[in-house]
Amino acid sequence: MKMIVAVIKPFKLEEVRDALASAGVQGMTVTESSGFGRQKGHTEIYRGAEYHTSFVPKLRLEVVVSDGEAASVVETIQNAARTGAIGDGKIFVIDVAQAVRIRTGDADDDAL
């Protein structure tokens, strides 16, 4: 199993969610987050005053899928989240040793 962690722009969430649902992904976890990468924050204007923020608002998506589905899920997220502008985000793929569905006790791929 693989955990796919994607950090994306917040306004792309619905597009990514719809694309993953179309690809057969049955669930995901979404967390509001903030951070910076190469863009090193950004400058905003609020009530006429310009100020610099070090952290940019992002969303962190987590999806666990079987090994065979991981590549297509990564491609789906990449295509749906891309704007072509700096700050589109990152995707990380992590090995998952075990998964258990709490309600039934199903394990590993059956728990997904």
Structure tokens at 96: 């998952």
Strand ordering across the sheet containing 56-65: 29-35, 56-65, 2-8, 89-95
Average confidence (pLDDT) over 40-56: 70
Give the residue carrying structure tokens 């090995």. 95
Average confidence (pLDDT) over 33-47: 73
| Domains present along the chain, CATH in parentheses | 2-39+55-111 (3.30.70.120)
Average pLDDT, the chain: 90
Instruction: Please give the helix or strand (H or E) that residue 79 lies within, else none.
Output: helix 70-81
Using alpha carbons, select from 7, 24, 15 the residue that is nearest to residue 112.
24
Give the Cα separation of 74 and 6 in Å (integer): 9
Phi, psi of 2 (to 5 degrees): -130, 140
Structure pTM? 0.84
Average confidence (pLDDT) over 79-93: 93
Give the residue carrying structure tokens 């969303």. 59
22 versus 112: which is more confidently predicted? Answer: 22
Kindly tell me if the per-residue pLDDT of 3 is higher than 90.
yes
69 versus 43: which is more confidently predicted? Answer: 69
Average confidence (pLDDT) over 97-108: 93
76 Rama class: left (phi>0) / alpha (psi -120 to 50) / beta: alpha
Phi, psi of 61 (to 5 degrees): -105, 140
47 versus 86: which is more confidently predicted? Answer: 86
Kindly tell me if the per-residue pLDDT of 38 is higher than 80.
no
Kindly tell me if the per-residue pLDDT of 61 is higher than 90.
yes
103 to 1, 30, 107, 111: CA distances (angstroms): 20, 21, 11, 10
| The one-letter amino acid at 47 | R
